[in-house]
């Protein structure tokens, strides 16, 4: 597929993941090699393959040098952090049926439960 064959749906999929600015610049920059190296279809396919892990490693929780969950753990006692993990597990179980992302919310609840289980297991060995 060439850039000229892209439908509005192709553009929506491409811009939803990367933002419009890079595409605008590439489209207006005659020297850009973006379209010579990679077709729009290849870009969309590549972006689909690079989907973000919204359960185990969401990008918005890992900015800077430390992941958010690690900073939270370091900021509280072991007992408090276990309560935090339990509370988040309960939160995702409580609302999984209401947000429209049931599987993702159940996976998040499972992530917090696994983290809590690992912590308690480590403390008891």
12 vs 65 pLDDT, higher one = 65
| pLDDT, tens digit (0-9, with 9 covering 90-100), for 5-18 | 767 666 666 656 55
pLDDT of residue 59: 66
pLDDT of residue 66: 80
Instruction: Summarize the confidence of residues 44-68 as an average pLDDT.
Output: 67
Concatenated DSSP letters of the chain: --GGG--HHHHHHHHHHH-HHHHHHHHH-TT--HHHHS-HHHHHHHHHHT---TTT--GGG--TTS-HHHHHHHTS-HHHHHHHHHHHHHHHHHHTTTSS-HHHHHHHHHHHHHHHHHHHHHHT-
pTM value > 0.85: no
């Amino acid at each position: 597929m060439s850039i000229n064959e892209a439908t509005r749906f192709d553009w929506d999929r491409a811009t939803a993941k990367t933002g419009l600015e890079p595409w605008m610049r590439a489209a207006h920059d005659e020297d850009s090699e973006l379209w010579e190296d990679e077709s729009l279809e290849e870009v969309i396919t590549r972006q689909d393959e690079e989907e973000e892990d919204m359960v185990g490693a969401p990008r918005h929780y890992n900015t800077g040098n430390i992941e958010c969950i690690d900073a939270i753990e370091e900021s509280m006692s072991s007992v408090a952090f276990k309560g935090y993990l339990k509370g988040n597990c309960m939160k995702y179980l409580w609302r999984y049926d209401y947000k429209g992302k049931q599987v993702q919310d159940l996976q998040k609840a499972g992530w917090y439960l696994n983290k809590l289980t690992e912590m308690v297991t480590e403390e008891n060995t």
